[in-house]
Structure 1
């Protein structure tokens, strides 16, 4: 069942309308309420949010830039299909970027930040049960963002944040995969290993750990099977017809 944009939207709007609309539509896509290949109409969206078409257009352009929608030559907007291939490509890029993040952050992290990383890693161990995977993901994002904050290079920070925004499209695919038995074990241990390498300022070890931390789960049979299961269950009717 497609998300109904004819219902009235009655939440308070902040000052930056386009950012609010972008975030709201993004969450609907992430949560699969707006389905792959579903058309988004500017006029309908403007009525739904009770705004002019300008902030809608701005939000749509940002959604396109971050990989949530596509715009064809006739300006038709559709929710972009998610794919396992794209997820793997995003993680490969993020793994490579994280190597540079570690190289630059290792000499900038303060004892206070290291202590926060340790607290986050401990919390993740407690939230690693299947029923707490969503919270684990939130803590994991906070862990990596804390390291990113220490990077003395704003341009790199912006690039990583941009790629992370694309990765959010796959939040529930990754959660589904990590719920499979054995899929999360190595990642849990790696957080503490990363912290120890940061303390020792071991750049070579850090680069090895962080790339593996991003990419290795894709090689875990249960994780890979979980991804395939997720994408198969969310395959649209249009996709099935083209098989």
Structure 2
């Protein structure tokens, strides 16, 4: 029982750090403060240290003696490779889900698209990230292929952000507005039950990286 509790704490820390890297709270070459993480999550140092060691072993953090753990910077080629995989698998999941998507699911996607619009207007990147993930997860979890779902979840935990990020807020939110226009186009394709059109749109339009300086 103690072991299970400890394991869940380590996983909790692991997920927290992963999400911070994904949403841009933690940036490449930024040092992680073990004390801050302990205080933020109200956990002891042991699960934090174990989570950091695991992240380093998976090549997402770098450990430097006397400096500690630092977010590893992935080169652009590596990021593009991951995006290409996610785009292909996400497009397949969308195609497979068409037969299982309900009107209620489509209504949820429309709701999330509206929430994304609000987040963009408020320049709230964290909420944008949250709602766009929820938008995609609706059809991913309806694809009726557990292996595909697991692969996508694994890639989503690869810490490559699932959308763009930039210090130029005007440029960033212009790009994010376009992304949400594409979300709404996807909804229309779901309503038409256009499997081929949906797969092609996600693979060749929605997941096409146009601004490599922002990934």
Normalized against structure 2, the TM-score is what?
0.74
Name 2:136's counterpart in structure 1. Answer: 144
- The whole-number CA distance in structure 1 between the counterparts of 2:76 and 2:168 is 11
Equivalence map 1:33-48=2 (5 Å): 36=29, 38=31
Q: How do 1:184-203 residues align onto structure 2 when only pairs under 5 Å count?
A: 184-203=176-195
151, 155, 165: which is aligned to 1:174?
A: 165
Rg larger in 1 or in 2?
1
How far did residue 95 of structure 1 move? Answer: 0.5
Out of 39, 44, 49, the position equivalent to 1:50 is 44
Whole-angstrom CA distance in 1 between matches of 2:108 and 2:7: 33
> RMSD across aligned C-alpha pairs, in angstroms?
3.6
Distance 2:162 2:98 in 1: 28
**Higher relative contact order (CA closer than 8 Å, sequence separation 6+):** 2
Q: Which residue of 1 aligns with 2:145?
A: 153
Give 3-state SS (helix, strand or coil) of 1:166's partner.
coil
Shift of the alpha carbon at 1:154?
Answer: 1.1
Unaligned runs of 5+ in 1: 1-12, 229-243
1:80 aligns with 2:76: no
Quote the residue 1:16 is aligned against.
Answer: 8
Q: State the 1:35 CA deviation.
A: 5.8
Match of residue 207, structure 2, among 167, 190, 214: 214
The answer to which of 125-134 and 101-110 deviates more is: 125-134
Runs of 4 or more, structure 1, over 6 Å off, are none
Q: C-alpha distance in 2, partners of 1:65/1:209? A: 36
C-alpha displacement at 1:128, in angstroms?
2.4
Query: How far apart are 1:143 and its partner, in Å?
Result: 0.2
**How many residue pairs were aligned?**
201
In the alignment, the residues of structure 1 paired with residue 192 and residue 30 of structure 2 have an alpha-carbon distance, to the nearest angstrom, of 49
Show CA shifts across 1:48-80 (max 9, x none): 85354xx456524542466522579xxx96532
User: How big is each residue's C-alpha offset from its partner over 1:15-62, in whole Å with a ceiling of 9 and x where there is no partner?
Assistant: 712112213443565523x86275999xx99x985354xx45652454
1:70–1:156 distance in 2 versus 1, CA, 3 Å: farther
Q: For the structure 1 residues 150 and 166, does the alpha-carbon distance in structure 2 shift closer, same or farther, using more than 3 Å as the test?
A: same
8 Å CA contact 2:100, 2:142 repeated in 1: yes
Correspondences of 1:23-38 after superposition (within 5 Å):
23-26=15-18, 29=21, 30-32=24-26, 36=29, 38=31
Query: 2:133 and 2:19 mapped to 1: Cα distance?
Result: 16
1:74-129 per-residue CA deviation (whole Å, 9 max, x = no partner) reads xx965322333332222111111012101211101111111111111222233323
